[in-house]
Structure 1
Amino acid sequence: MLPERSEVTWGTTHLAYDIRRSARRSTVSIAIDPDHGLVVTAPEATPIARPPASGAREFVSGESFLYLGRQLRLRLLPEQDPRPLALRGGWLELPLPRGLPPEHRSAYARAALLDWYKRRAAERLPAWAAPWAQKLGVTFRRLLVTDQAKRWGSCSRGVLRLNWRIVQAPRALIDYVLAHELAHLIHDHHGREFWATLGRAMPDHEARKARLGELGPALLW
């Protein structure tokens, strides 16, 4: 597996660094490694960078987006043959069709990003939900990717509905939403029995919920 990397900029100075994650850590540390240079060690679910607040998106080259907690950057390639957006080396590259007016580029990029995220959610979420369903002792008939701005998911009558935006979050937080919604197949409320059931499957659910609460508003675009 390729090491997780990111960079930070101060004025004209660019610093690249490796990221090492550990389930045993609760804080972030920075060190200089003789072989790897700058190294940041962090808890598994720590986001790499604070993304723009909701409503601040411009959908222009260089703008940052999150995927599974990893910071990616958008790269628009004008005057190209139309092709779907693709992830290449930390960049979300989007060819813009020849003749596309500059004033329409942001809307085109936003639509392409929505399609990319929704496809990734549809491809990955069902497989990630399966182990939690087994752990909880429930069965879901299917998983639907939705576009609900005010909730991460819902689950009833064997149908699991997940907001595509959750795939921007680190995997630990995605798992929290999956386990939470699947637990509703046992208890269709948020009473004491529900939280006890979720706690048996995911003992640290309260910490995950808190981290999602902190990160969540920045994922709503």
Structure 2
Amino acid sequence: MNIIINNESIHCHVEYSKRKKVAIQLDPNGLLTVKVPNGTSDEDITRFVQRNSKPILDYLHKLAERQPLPETRTYAEAEDTFMYLGKEQPLQSLISVEDADEEELRVRLKKFYFTSCKKIILERMQPYMQQLKVKPKSVDIVESTTRWGSCSYDKKLTFNYRLAMAPIEVIDYVIVHELCHLLHMNHDRSFWRKVGGLMPDYKDKEEYLARYGRYMSL
């Protein structure tokens, strides 16, 4: 789930168990895990995280300072590379670079990611829909700085176009995550059990997004 702290959207993984108290864990990659008793509501989790916002933000900011910033994109035809399905690809292998200045190349590349993301999502989600016996009302690709995907109460799914930059198994995780929300809107124990049933190593995928998501940009 995503929690807003001082105008920053922080992604956190929620673990439900028979424990009696809430605990917070931050790993070296910046992944926030909130361990809570069974039945804890999203509202209570949000309040707890916000009450402990200072040490969380201090840790994440120090971690960010130690990580190199992404290089500024130049959109040079023969020099710059961009992530696609988890691998760096030359610009000209993704889009046509003829008769285009830097701004036009940026527009073409974003359009490529939107189109590719929609195609990949629709293809990859089919077997998971069959396994879960669910069907979303609609699937849209959007631009977002805070979410990789979302599911509304009227069963509409959205996915961040930047997912096309991630490895296919990470894309699959976000698809599974959002499809499972069609069955369980909250991040309760039943939700994570359903996600884990289809993808036992889902935490590895969350770690990838937490660690490399900032580099998946145009």
Which TM bucket (shorter chain)?
A: 0.5 to 0.7
State the SS of the aligned residue for 1:143.
strand
- Bigger helix fraction: 2
Give the one of 85, 108, 117 matched to 1:68: 85
AA in 2 matched with 1:70 = K
1:205 maps to 2:202: yes
CA distance in 2, matches of 1:55, 1:164: 20
Match of 1:138 in 2: 134
Report the alpha carbon displacement of residue 176 of structure 1 after superposing the two structures with TM: 0.5
Report the alpha carbon displacement of residue 55 of structure 1 after superposing the two structures with TM: 6.8
Match of 1:164 in 2: 161
Match of 1:58 in 2: 74
Structure 2 spans left out of the alignment, 5+ residues: 1-67
Report the alpha carbon displacement of residue 217 of structure 1 after superposing the two structures with TM: 0.9
CA contact (8 A) 1:199 1:205 kept: yes
Question: Which one scores higher on RCO, CA 8 angstroms, separation ≥ 6?
Answer: 2
Structure 1 spans left out of the alignment, 5+ residues: 1-51, 76-86, 98-104
Number of matched pairs: 149
State the SS of the aligned residue for 1:145.
strand
Segment drifting more, 197-206 vs 166-175:
197-206
Match of 1:107 in 2: 103
Q: TM-score, normalised by structure 1?
A: 0.62
CA distance in 1, matches of 2:202, 2:89: 27
Counting aligned pairs with the same residue, the percent is: 30
AA in 1 matched with 2:204 = A
Q: Deviations over 1:30-57 (max 9, x none)?
A: xxxxxxxxxxxxxxxxxxxxxx945722
Report the alpha carbon displacement of residue 70 of structure 1 after superposing the two structures with TM: 2.1
AA in 2 matched with 1:162 = F
Q: Deviations over 1:170-215 (max 9, x none)?
A: 0000000000111111111112221111111111111111122212
